Amino acid sequence: MYKYCYFGMITLDALTLAVSLRYFLKTKKRHIGALVLWFGSRFLSALFPYILYIFLGWETEHLMSFSVLLEGFFMYFLFMLLLSKKHWFDTFLFMIPLTIFVVEFYFLEHYYNVMYVTHVFYYAFVSALLIWLFKREKIPQPFQTFINLLLVYHVTVFIFMLNLNFLNSNYNLGSYLFPVFWLTYIVFDLLSIQYFRKQYLHHR
């Protein structure tokens, strides 16, 4: 069952990357380009570790954690592109996820299996950036709708990751809630595909 879910996730990631890339190539908008990089990182972080694990038997936790770091940088890039004015702390924000990654990699790795702190911080960090955009910036529709979708997705996964250790230790509860995580992932990809497809058709 897990293999089918994972294959479905990779397939949806590939489709989402394809439609977002098609829209970017048509519009050349920089903020869409940042999203293409983000979707590309998600897709490759799902595909390559799966291939390396299945065919070579490699442990790929660090590769997936490094991908999360890249995703954080791409979301930071999107955040910077959407700001109406610069703030003194903007240039230092990108150092925060890098610092968390380095500290966990060298000092906390033996406490967790998949660099847990890096993953949790990524979703908290991106959620904070998106909340800032939601409250302080006037983003034109319909892109505001997609920002809202990104925010809901990251906040939902953040809550899930925050309770991951508890769910892993409680098999019965985890068996009910893990499908909710997969469903959240699938719904986000499907809505993203619909958004980029609709925007592409609108700009014909």
pLDDT tens-digit readout, 120-170: 999 999 999 999 999 989 898 899 999 999 999 999 999 888 877 666 666
Mean pLDDT in residue range 13-24:
96
Q: How many domains does the chain have?
A: 1
Answer with the residue of higher pLDDT: 33 or 167.
33
Q: In the block, which residue shows the tokens 């291939």?
A: 51
Q: What's the rounded mean pLDDT across residues 82-101? A: 82
In this predicted model, which residue has the larger pLDDT, 57 or 37?
37
Give the residue numbers spanning the domain of 125: 2-202
Residue 166's pLDDT is 67
Please give the DSSP secondary-structure letter assigned to residue 54.
I
Residue 111 has pLDDT above 60, yes or no: no
Record the pTM: 0.88
Task: Give the pLDDT of residue 181.
Answer: 80
Angle between helices 2-27 and 171-202 (to 10 degrees): 20
